[in-house]
Amino acid sequence: MNVAQKLISSHLVSGNMKPGEEIAISIDQTLTQDATGTMAYLEFEAMGIPKVKTKLSVSYVDHNTLQTGFENADDHRFLQTIAAKYGIYFSKPGNGICHQVHLERFAKPGQTLLGSDSHTPNAGAVGMLAIGAGGLNVALAMAGQPFYLVMPRVVRVNLKGKCKAGVTAKDIILEVLRRLTVKGGVGKVIEYAGEGLKKLTVPERATITNMGAELGATSSVFPSDEQTKAFLKAQKRGADWTELKPDADAAYDEEVVIELDKLVPMIALPSSPDNVKRVRDVKGTPVRQVCIGSCVNSSYADLVLAAKILKKHKVHPDVSLAISPGSRQALRMITDNGALSDLVSAGARVLECACGPCIGMGQSPATGAVSLRTFNRNFPGRSGTVNDQVHLCSPLTAAVSAITGKITDPREVIKKPLSFTLPKTFAVDDSMIIPPSKKPDKVTVERGPNIKPLPVRGALEESLKAKVILKVGDNITTDDIMPAGAKVLPLRSNIPAISEFVFSKVDPAFPARAKSSGGGIVLGGINYGQGSSREHAALGPMYLGIKVVLAKSFARIHKDNLINFGILPLTVSAEVYDSIAQDSEIEFPGLAKDVRESSEVTFVNVSSGQTYKAEHGLTERQKEIILAGGLLNSIKKGK
């Protein structure tokens, strides 16, 4: 078996490991972040279970750290007290970004991790099967329930040779994105192998597994080898290491070969992570902002390399350079070794250890300005600026360009590989990770006024007639459906309030139109719902009365979230998509019966009289959830 198959087989609860079949796996660890965690813990609390049943569960605060009102601070108190009561570790604001901290302090080879954030596969860098999911799925995992997924195909990415000066792990994953695109990983686990692994440290591997989320992949994974052992030992967690490698005769469903010595610095142009070009092809483009950080490329190694470039240089007068350390550990270590001083002396603005600009929480670029970011996503408007010009690149490209004031191939400056050796010992200080209370019965969960009850819908309608309230194109993201940013994210525990922003970037009138129509249908293109795992992109539409989403295809996590909250996802052909207009009235004469008894749903375009078929692709388990009107209803019905 390959590494992915070994991880799945050792946790298999039900199903057959045949690609395309539904399986269930046990979950060892969970993580949440505050933008999704508040709802996840409300869902867990509703299950009436006194303590989490995982080996480890951690609640992180890293998204909503900008406290411009009471909402975020109130929710932090809720998260800390509910963690204390239910056996969950709590990482305080300022301790760092969930994926970076989890990699440093908790990720464990051979185990499974389910996180309510799409970049949870970051932990695959140490040989974990780490998967992003909606908050309700994570709540169920904390309750001891297995996680259901379609058995993925396994793609072997064979890394040959060694990267030359100026080329980094970021360029490797950008090359993978260039080849496979943002939908090329759907239904797959990306497993890295080959001689090129020997020189890739765990922080470098994490850059690659983190951005596997942009491929739409179920997960990305590296073997657990000597590099893994060295990293865990340096984190004073040597006892957590176990070797995990593919068998010599391991088979794969696909293979991609990357010759590292032929790879050059790459850059993703606006506004998609797969719009990848060679840096040299766009060099000379004026730059006004550079951001180094987020949950990818914010490690101690990344920051040290950026500091080496910036040392004894000054940031260009026209450029604003912002640095977001991924963890307090990384910040402390660059402080101790002088790298922070080099960054500040060069003119960098140092932000707190949080997601920050990546989710539009500050540092929005100026109108029309090119922003170079070492982040993982550059979806339109995600930065907080309409029609933004966000480019994704490596810390080396970012640092060199910050000095020159224009997009610059780092090889023009870096003639030989920058020296960096993984430290033998990291600065370990877990004082901002609060363990659960030893007296949980004495803990009172604190709830601010912004926390509202979780809404649910009724059972699936036997028949349905509704309008297509919105028709959208391909690659609609969860940022398009439910925006992030400083204005919206504080409302994440208040579904009635946050629903006012559903599709607001695409069509500001959508919420009002949905409410006046009493709900309806959304029609989408290919890869509908790509991006973040935020279940609010299903919860908000459900609250507004959306009953069905018709699309050419769906992103994995969002499709699961739609099902969890009782919105029926139906796949239609390109011809059907083209023949239905916005405001068309659609009738499903036998909706519930079709779901129960068939793999197809029949519907009629009342406006034209045409009759169509759509595939629902639901398993028997998912049928029960949809028919009940969502997972919570299904659980209550089962009881």
pLDDT tens readout for residues 282-307? 999 999 999 999 999 999 999 999 99
- 418 pLDDT higher than 90: no
Domain hosting 401: range is: 267-412
Check if the beta carbon of residue 459 is closer than 8 Å to that of residue 568.
no
pLDDT at residue 487 tops 90: no
**pLDDT beyond 90 at 521:** yes
Q: Does 611 share its domain with 474?
A: yes
Q: How confident is the model over 33-55, as pLDDT tens digits? A: 998 999 999 999 988 999 999 99
Total domain count for the chain? Answer: 3
Kindly list the strands in the beta sheet with 254-259, ordered across the sheet, starting from the edge strand earlier in the chain. 219-221, 188-193, 153-160, 254-259
Confidence of residue 332 (pLDDT cuts 50, 70, 90): very high
Least confident segment among 65-69, 93-97, 592-596: 65-69
**Residue 436 covered by a domain:** no
The C-alpha atoms of residue 506 and residue 540 are separated, in whole angstroms, by 15
Question: 32 with 66, same domain?
Answer: yes
Mean pLDDT of 470-499: 92
Q: State residue 355 phi and psi, 5-degree precision.
A: -65, -40
Give the mean model confidence (pLDDT) for residues 93-115. Answer: 98
Say yes or no: 119 and 236 in one domain. Answer: yes
- Do residues 256 and 291 share a domain? no
* 426 domain-assigned: no
| 446: in domain | no
The answer to whether residues 274 and 251 belong to one domain is no
The edge-to-edge listing of strands for the beta sheet with 22-25 is: 12-14, 22-25, 147-150
| Residue 455 in domain | no
pLDDT band at 453 (very low <50, low <70, confident <90, very high): confident
CATH number of residue 549's parent domain:
3.20.19.10
Same-domain status, 242 and 123: yes
219 within 8 A of 128, measured Cβ to Cβ: no
Instruction: Evaluate if residue 639 carries a pLDDT over 70.
Output: no
Residues 155 and 215 in one domain: yes
Domain termination residue (choose one: 210, 227, 262): 262
Whether 448 has a pLDDT exceeding 70, the answer reads yes
433 assigned to some structural domain: no
The number of residues in the chain equals 639
Task: Using CA atoms of 21, 5, 221, 110 in order, give the dihedral in degrees to the nearest 10.
Answer: 120
Per-residue pLDDT of 179-223, as tens digits, reads 999 999 999 999 999 999 999 999 999 999 999 999 999 999 999
Within a domain: residue 428? no
Per-residue pLDDT for 6 more than 80? yes
Mean pLDDT over 432-444 rounds to 97
* Domain boundary, last residue among 262, 283, 317: 262
Instruction: Give the per-residue pLDDT at 125.
Output: 98
Domain membership of residue 357 (yes or no) is: yes
Question: Would strands 276-278 and 266-268 be described as parallel, antiparallel, or unpaired?
Answer: antiparallel
476 domain residue, yes or no: yes
Stated pTM of the model: 0.93
Tell the residue number behind the tokens 């400056």, with chain if given: 413
Residue 533 banded pLDDT, cuts 50, 70, 90: confident
616 and 485 together in one domain: yes
